[in-house]
Amino acid sequence: MLMQQIYWRPNCLILQKPSLHGIGSSNHRCFQVGLSRPLLTKQKKGRKFKNECMKIKAVAVSEEAIERKSVEVKATVTVQPATGGILSKLGLQSGLDEITDLMGKSILLELVSSELDPKTKLEKKRIKGYVHLTHRSSEEVKYEAEFEVPANFGEIGAILVENEHRKEMFMREIVLDGFLTGPVKFSCESWVHSKFDNPAKRVFFSNKSYLPSETPEGLQKFRAEELISLRGNGEGEHQSFDRIYDYDVYNDLGDPDTNPDHKRPVLGGSEHPYPRRCRTGRPRCDTDPLSEKRSDNVYVPRDECFSDVKQLTFSANTLKSAFHALLPGLKTAVVDKNLGFLLFSSIDDLFNEGYTLPPQKEKGFLRTVLPRLVRLVNDATGDILRFETPATMDKDRFFWFRDEEFGRQTIAGLNPCCIQLVTEWPLKSKLDPNVYGPAESAITTEIVEQQIRGFVTVEEAIKQKKLFILDYYDFFMPLVEEVRKLEGTTLYGSRTLFFLTREGALRPLAIELARPPMNGKPQWRQVYTPSWHSTDVWLWRLAKAHVLAHDGGYHQLVSHWLRTHCCTEPYIIATNRQLSAMHPIYRLLLPHFRYTMEINALAREALINADGIIESSFTPKQLSILVSSIAYDKHWQFDLQALPNDLIHRGLAVRDPNAPHGLKLAIEDYPYANDGLVLWDAIKSWVTDYVNHYYNGDSRTVVSDKELQAWWEEIRTVGHGDKKDEPWWPNLKTNEDLVEIVTTIVWITSGHHAAVNFGQYTYAGYFPNRPAIARNNMPTEDPSDQELELFYDKPEVTLLKCFPSQIQAMTVMTVLDILSSHSPDEEYLGQTVEPAWEEEPMIKAAFEKFQGRLMELEGIVDERNANKNLKNRNGAGILPYELLKPTSEPGVTGKGVPYSISI
C-alpha cells in the first residue's frame, strides 16, 4: 500500500492538477498526495476560521485503485473506400467483412505508451479495443470506439492496428480525442493488410517527429522493429500486400522465355553500371538464369501504390489504358509498320481529322478513359484517335522550321540542361583516333568565322563566352556501328555549335555529323551550315532532324528517365529502410517520393522494356537502355544534380556573391536557369529552416544520428553501389551537408522533373520539331543514284522518310500526351502542408514562408514572360516559358511543379 487519500469537507478547497480525477464515495473526494497543490482554505465573511475544516484523514489504497483513474478517449479511424485494390470486393469475402462490421469487430487498436513502466522498465500494458463502423459514404468510412486511458499511462506515441477484414483497407487517419492537451493525431495514409494475409500488426506513430536519440523509451522497440520489417530478409517472391523495400539490378527488362531476341543485358554491376531498383523476388527465366521472369503486375511496396485511392490517379491509369488497349489496337490498325507520312498535310490530319481505330471489345471504353485523345467524331461507327494541337504549333504553325526556335529550345525547351559553353578551340574528341578517326573536329575556324563575320573572331568569341555547343559526338560515336545494324534506324556522332547574339539569343552556326570507320569504309563526316542555297538549306534541315533525334533520345533516356525516375528509386528504398516514419527527414522527403516507384514499375513493364515503346520508337532502338547506362557510368554525379553545380559544370554560370542567387549566368536570358534558381533558393531556404529546427545547428547531432548516417551510407554504397568509390559524393557531417543533399533530392523530384516532363507534348507533340528517331542516313553519305535523285527532285519527301513512321509517331504522341498531363488531384509543390509539419509551430511557419516564396515565383514567371526584352520567352509566336511555374490546372498545360515524380 503505497498511496494515500485525503478527505476534505465542503468548506475546504484543494487545488489539484486538472488531469486527475477524484475517486471514493459520493460523500468524499480524494486525490493523490504529492500531485495536488498545497491545501488552501477560505474563511467565510463574518465567521471565524474553524479548525474542523482541517480535519484530514489519510488512508492507504492499492496501486490498482490509482490506475482506475482514467481519461475517457474517443478513437476515430478514417478509411478511404478503395475503387479497386488487391482483393475483389465481391463475393464471399465482402459478405464476411460486412458481418465483421456488424459484429463491431472491424479493426483492433492497441494504444502504446511512450513511457516504460518506471519500475520494471518494460513496456506498459497496451490498451486494446475494437472500433466499430459508424459512417459510410463514397468519400470515407469511419470507425469509432471509446477507451479508458489511465492517468499514469503517459503520452500515447503509437497505435498497433489489426485489420479483421479479409481484404486490405486504406487507412487515412486515426484521431484520439479527449485529452485536455488536445487530440492526438496519427496520419496513416497507408494500406493495412488483412490479418488473414499477414498476422503481424501494423504500427503507426503519432505525428510528432523524433530524432533517434530523442525517441521516448516506450517507442524505441517499435521504431527499430518497424524498420527491420520493412527491410525484409531478401528471400522469396514478394506478395502484393507486402511492404518490403529491398534492392535488385535491372534484370527484368527482357523476356527471353517468350522470345530469344528479347534477351537484354543486366543493368547494374561493373559491366553496365546502373542505379538499383526495387526487388520483386520473382523467379529467374528458364532460358536465362540472369534474367527475372516478367509478370503483368510488377511488385512495388504496397504503400507506393495509391492509384486506386486518389481519384484513380488519373495519369497513371490513363497510361495503363493506353498501354493495354489503345496502342495494341493502333498496331493492328496500321498495316505497314514502316510506312511514313507521304505529305506534311498527312501529319496535320492527326490533329484535324484523326485516325480511325479498330472496334474495341468494350464499346466506348477508350473514350471514357482517354477522353482527350479518343472520341467519337460525327457519325463514325468506331473510335477516332485525334490529337490536340500542341501549344507551340497553335501559336506558330511553322515554329519547328525556324533556326531561331531551334536555338531557343536548347535553353527554353524540353531539354535545356545539355547545352555547354565552349572553352577550348579547336573542338576535339577524347575517343581513340585509331578507332574512331581524327580527334579534331571538322568545324574549323574558317567555317565559324564565315558564319559570324562582322561580329568577332573565334578567339574573341570564346573569350567573351559567345560560343556554345550541344555535344553528342563522343557519347553516340561508339554506338553508331551497332545501332546501324538494326532495322529502320541510323545514328551519327554529332556536334552543334551556337553563337550568342547581342540580343541574348542562340544562333545555330554549324552541325557536324560523323560516322566512324566501319564495314571497310573510312570515317565519314561532314559539316552543315545555314545557307541561302536550296540544296544546302535542305541538307541543313536534314542535319537538324538528326541532331534533334539525338537530343530527343538523350532527353528521354538520360535527362528524364535516368536523372529523375531511375536515380530517385534508391533514395526511396533507402529512406524506408533506414529512416523511421517518425524521423523528421523521412517526413520531409515523403511527399517527394509518392507514386514514383509505381510509375517506374510501369515504365519497366511497357516503356523501357524489350520491344517496348522506347525501343520501338527512338533512334537507339534495342540499345536504348544501354544509352542510359553509359550516361550513368560516364556522366552522372550526385553533386552535379544540384542546379547551381550543374550550371557551373556546363560553363553556364560562375560563382559571384554579388549576383542574384550567387551565380552569374553566361546567358542572361536563360529561362530554365533563371526560373530554376528562384525555385532552388526557395527549396533550399525551406529545407534549411526545417533541418536547423530539428538539429539545432549542432553538427554533432547530424554525425550522431545513426539512422541518418545509415541512410546516406546505403544510398552511396548499395542504391548507387556502382558509384560507391567516387570521390565526389558529399560528406554528411554538418547541417549544411544535410541541407545540400536533401535540397538536391527535392529539386530533382520536383523542379528538374517538371522542367523535362510536362513540356513533352508541347514541344514534341508535333514530331517534326523533335523527331524521336531518324530512320535514314544523310543523302550525302555514300548516296545511291536513286537517293540523290529523290533528294534533288523532292527534298521534302527525303525529310519525311527520315522522320518516324506513322505507327512510331502516333505511339510516341499518345504517350507524350499522357505523360505531359496533370492529374485532377495533382499535389503541387508547397500547396499542401503535411500533417506532421502542421503540428510543429516552427515548421508550419517555415512552410508558410516557403509557400509565400512559391507564390512570388508565380508572379516572377508572369513578369518575365511579359518582358519584351527577354527574347527567349517573349515575341511573335513565342511560347512563354512556364514549365517551372509552381501550380497548374489539370491537363496538358506546360506548367506546374508537383511534389514528386508522379507520372
753 is catalytic: yes
CA distances, 635 to each of 430, 477, 646 (Å): 14, 16, 11
Q: Which residues contact 527 (CB under 8 A, 6 or more apart)?
A: 442, 443, 444, 447, 510, 511, 512
Q: Which residues contact 53 (CB under 8 A, 6 or more apart)?
A: 8, 9, 11, 12, 41
752 is catalytic: no
Query: Coil, strand or helix: which one is 87?
Result: coil
Q: Which residues contact 164 (CB under 8 A, 6 or more apart)?
A: 100, 105, 106, 107, 108, 130, 195
Query: Rounded to an integer, what distance in angstroms lies between the CA atom of residue 106 and that of residue 166?
Result: 10
Of the candidates 594, 679, 573, 565, the one whose C-alpha atom is nearest the C-alpha of residue 900 is: 594
Of the candidates 666, 770, 773, the one whose C-alpha atom is nearest the C-alpha of residue 415 is: 770
Tracing cell 533506414 back to the chain, one arrives at 578
- Amino acid identity, position 657: P
Buried b (16+ CB within 10 A) or exposed e, 538-549: bbbbbbbbbbbb
List residues bridging with 451 in a β-sheet: none
Tracing cell 503535411 back to the chain, one arrives at 834
Angle at 257 between CA 633 and CA 478, to 5 degrees: 30
Of the candidates 757, 10, 892, the one whose C-alpha atom is nearest the C-alpha of residue 371 is: 892
Query: Rounded to an integer, what distance in angstroms lies between the CA atom of residue 232 and that of residue 246?
Result: 7
- Grid cell digits, residue 492: 551519327
Q: Of the listed 753, 773, 843, 901, which one is catalytic?
A: 753
Of the candidates 802, 251, 252, 339, the one whose C-alpha atom is nearest the C-alpha of residue 549 is: 802
Of the candidates 737, 736, 715, 743, the one whose C-alpha atom is nearest the C-alpha of residue 829 is: 743
Query: Rounded to an integer, what distance in angstroms lies between the CA atom of residue 885 and that of residue 754?
Result: 9
Query: Rounded to an integer, what distance in angstroms lies between the CA atom of residue 239 and that of residue 301?
Result: 9
Q: Of the listed 6, 625, 773, 903, which one is catalytic?
A: 903
Q: If residue 578 lies in a helix (H) or strand (E), which one and from where to where?
A: helix 567-578
With beta carbons less than 8 A apart as the criterion, state whether 569 and 827 touch.
no
Which DSSP string do the residues of 138-168 spell out, in sequence order?
SS-EEEEEEEEEETTS--EEEEEEEE-SSS-
693 is catalytic: no
- Grid cell digits, residue 480: 553508331
272 is catalytic: no
Query: Rounded to an integer, what distance in angstroms lies between the CA atom of residue 598 and that of residue 293?
Result: 18
Query: Rounded to an integer, what distance in angstroms lies between the CA atom of residue 253 and that of residue 241?
Result: 23
Length of the chain: 903
- Taking phi over 0 as left and psi of -120 to 50 as alpha, with beta for the rest, 602 belongs to alpha
With beta carbons less than 8 A apart as the criterion, state whether 586 and 578 touch.
no
Of the candidates 480, 432, 439, 475, the one whose C-alpha atom is nearest the C-alpha of residue 636 is: 475
Q: Of the listed 317, 576, 609, 757, which one is catalytic?
A: 757
CA distances, 536 to each of 282, 511, 543, 548 (Å): 55, 12, 10, 18
Q: Which residues contact 642 (CB under 8 A, 6 or more apart)?
A: 680, 740, 743, 744, 747
Angle in degrees, 0-180, between the axes of helices 534-554 and 795-802, rounded to the nearest 10: 10
- Amino acid identity, position 5: Q
903 is catalytic: yes
Q: Of the listed 238, 555, 560, 752, which one is catalytic?
A: 560
Query: Rounded to an integer, what distance in angstroms lies between the CA atom of residue 231 and that of residue 20?
Result: 43
Q: Of the listed 565, 592, 661, 822, which one is catalytic?
A: 565
Q: Which residues contact 629 (CB under 8 A, 6 or more apart)?
A: 267, 272, 273, 274
Residues serving a catalytic function are 560, 565, 753, 757, 903
